[in-house]
Each structure stands twice: as C-alpha cells, then as structure tokens.
Structure 1
Amino acid sequence: MPTRRRGEELEATILEAAWAEIQEHGYNRLTVEGVAARAQTGKQVLYRRWPNRAQLAVAAIRHTLGPLVTEAPDTGSLREDYLTVLRLMAGRARHYTPELLHGLMPEVWGLAGEISSALPGVIAEILRNAAARGEITHADLPERVAMLPLDLVRYEGMRSVVRWAEITEADAEKVVADILDTVFLPLVMALAGPSSRPE
C-alpha cells in the first residue's frame, strides 16, 4: 500500500503535476480535476490550498522556476543593480509560452504580487545601497518610481506576448537598457540625484 503523502511532499507533488499539465495541455485546458488525477489525490485537497486554477498555476510557476531573486544584487552601481534584476525578468519570460501568458493575464491580475512578492524589498535595498554609495541623495523614492523599470518590462511583455516570449537575449538587453537609460535613471536623478553644487 502506497505511503500517504502529507504537507510539503504532497504539495510538491501537486505543483509538479500542475506544471506538467500546463506543459502538456496548455493553461487553457488546465483543470483541477486533471491535476488531481495526475497527482493521484482528491481535488478537494487542491481546493483547500488553491481556491482556483490561476492561484494553482502561479504556485506551480513559483515552485518550478523558483523565486526571481532572493537578495539584492550589489554590483557597486545603481544602473547595474537594476539591470541585473531586469535581465532576470527577461530571462524568466522565456519559460512562459504565449498561451500561458494570454490565459493567465485576465485571471491573475490581482495575483501579480504573488509571482514577484520579494521584488519590492529587493528594490528598496538596491536604492539604500545606492544612497550609501552617494549615487543618490536618499532612497525614499515613491513606490511607483522605484518599481517603474519592472513595471515597464511587464508592459513590454503584455504589449506583445508572442514577441517577448521569443525575444533574443541581445534584444532583451537593449530593451531593458533603454528603459533604464532613457526613462528611469533620468527620473531618479531629477528626484534624488547628488547635488551639483560645490561644497
């Protein structure tokens, strides 16, 4: 008789089954029943953890791909620190098929924070490091400004899902560098850049 699975072992089995279903059948055909059957468990077990398939899919993505970033990069440059995070975002996009993104977007709008819940803390630390180095006068930027490069990368993905899923590494680098150099860094320097007055 098979050992009854519980806790983390059962959850990992379910999330691996969900990812396999997404890869095999696509998000639009993902069902709780199908995942439960593949994981050899009851669908009520899934519903107790994830009330709908969007939350299940997000959990499967996080389980399979891991967190985007766990700690703030510290390259010695505000630009390079942000660029490191944006490169990771662009690389992660290659794991999402256009069908998965199209399917998730209408359902997961309110769950976006669950996919990247660590990012606000990482960005706050990047800004504090830049302030400590003297690149900016303070790290207390409005959240909309601090998160702007990440939001613009997400917008690029939503604007052309197929293109972004198939974008080359070189072209992705150009996009994220352009976001930083023409939009974000000029704005940050205007708001919190070092004083140009002689001491």
Structure 2
Amino acid sequence: MGKNPDDYNERAGSAQTRRRGAELEQAILDAAWEQLIAEGYEHFTIDTVAARARTSKPVLYRRWKTRDDLLRATVRHIGAASAPSIPDTGTLRGDLLALLANANSTTRNPVAALVSSMLGSYYNQTGPTPAELREAFLSQRGSAVEQVVNRAVERGEVDQARLTPRIIALPFDLFRNEMMMTLKPVPDHVLRQIVDDIFIPLVTTQRAQWA
C-alpha cells in the first residue's frame, strides 16, 4: 500500500509525529494563528508556520499555495472555533449589550488580536484587506447580531422597514472602530451609548423607556 507523504515530512523534534488529515490540518492552523499573533503578518510565512507546527514546508504547500491562502484558512479556522453563544435576555437592548460585553471582556479577543498583529506591517505588505479577513473570520459561523435583531423583529421590538445590512452591522462596526483606535477594551458607557443612543433609535418607531 502507498504511504501518506505527510508521514515522511512531519516531525516533532527528533521523533516522527504521526498526525494525518484533519488532525494535522488543525494543528497547522493552530500553529499558524500562534505565529500570526506572536510575530505579526510580516513574519507570517510558510517557513515560520511550518517550524512552529513542527512539520515541513511541503506539507503546507500541498494544502495552501501561498501565504495569503494560509492566512485566510487560519482566520476562517479561528472564526469558526470562537463563535459566541447567542444571548437571549428577552430584549434587543439586553441582547446587544450582552454581545458587546462578551466581545469586550475577552483578554485576547480574536478580532483584536488579529488587528494588532496586522497593524504593524500590513500596510507595507501586499495581502488581503481587513474587510476580506473579517469576511473569512465570520464565514463559518454567521453574524450573531443579525440573529439577535431577527429575534427582536419577531418580538415586535424592531420596525423591520428600518433595517438594512448597514444598520444591522452598525453596533459592531462602531465597537470595532473604538477598539481599533485604542487596542483596549471599550468602556461600558460607550457600549451603552452605541446601543441606547445610536442603534435602538434607528430601528424602533419610538424609543423605549428603560427602567
């Protein structure tokens, strides 16, 4: 029987490591994420990822032809693995604040980590745009805020005629802007302003009075 060529190329230290198929690919993508966060986009290469994953360059090249192919696969992998639980507080305001607080409380939020790793060298490199990477990040899990808004429509909290893709995306667009400007957690009062002063008035016919 023929042997998997990965068996000949994959080594961990001095001992051969028998990782194959999905297990091997996950190990490589986990190592790729660690490399991206540790050393940034400038040092995110097939060579450095192969070394961190303790495998060989041909193993990676059989799966991803270029560094950018590997980068997109890595972002998709981490996006799928870090999908948030969808809150159900009973109100649109409660759900949105819970989503934003969850994103804000993670010490190394994957999106924040990605932005930090790219900022240092991204604009001196040729690579995918931040918008393309965000699309890859969300591709395997969908939009949590869209699910929350759809549920609010079913409860009668939201005027569906006021919804557009841009408006639905607005809370997290504003959140990401705040986060990118400081690379720090967004203050709670800013999260409340995003929800209470900006988003809810846009999507309801009459602003609710909160107790």
TM range (shorter): 0.7 to 0.9
Unaligned runs of 5+ in 1: 195-199
What is the CA deviation profile of residues 56-104 of structure 1, one whole-angstrom value per residue up to 9, with x for unaligned ones? 34544565683232x5321101011111222232234734277414148
- Of the three residues 29, 38, 46, the one matched with 1:15 is 29
Aligned twin of 1:130: 152
Contact 1:54 1:108 in 2 (8 A): no
Does residue 1:144 correspond to 2:144, yes or no?
no
Does residue 1:176 correspond to 2:176, yes or no?
no
Q: Distance in 1 between matches of 2:102 and 2:58?
A: 35
Aligned-residue Cα RMSD (Å) equals: 3.2
Contact 1:15 1:59 in 2 (8 A): yes
TM-score (norm. length: structure 2): 0.69
Aligned length: 183
Alpha-carbon offset, residue 50 of structure 1? 4.0
Q: Distance in 1 between matches of 2:121 and 2:94?
A: 31
Mark the CA change 1:188 to 1:98 in structure 2 (over 3 Å): closer, same or farther: closer
What is the CA deviation profile of residues 10-63 of structure 1, one whole-angstrom value per residue up to 9, with x for unaligned ones? 112212322332354343222211111232333243244445445534544565
Unaligned runs of 5+ in 2: 1-14
Contact 1:128 1:139 in 2 (8 A): no
Q: Distance in 2 between matches of 1:133 and 1:99?
A: 38
- Of the three residues 136, 153, 178, the one matched with 1:156 is 178
Q: Distance in 2 between matches of 1:105 and 1:87?
A: 28
The DSSP-based 3-state class of the residue aligned with 2:160 is coil
Contact 2:159 2:204 in 1 (8 A): no
4+ residue runs over 6 A deviation: none
Q: Distance in 2 between matches of 1:184 and 1:9?
A: 42
TM-score (norm. length: structure 1): 0.73
Mark the CA change 1:50 to 1:152 in structure 2 (over 3 Å): closer, same or farther: farther
Aligned twin of 1:197: none
Mark the CA change 1:68 to 1:174 in structure 2 (over 3 Å): closer, same or farther: farther
The structure whose residues are more often helix, as a share, is: 1
- Of the three residues 70, 73, 76, the one matched with 1:56 is 70
**Greater CA drift, 180-189 or 3-12:** 3-12
Contact 1:14 1:36 in 2 (8 A): yes
Aligned twin of 2:5: none
Contact 2:171 2:195 in 1 (8 A): yes
Q: What amino acid does structure 2 have at the position aligned with 1:180?
A: V
Q: What amino acid does structure 2 have at the position aligned with 1:141?
A: L
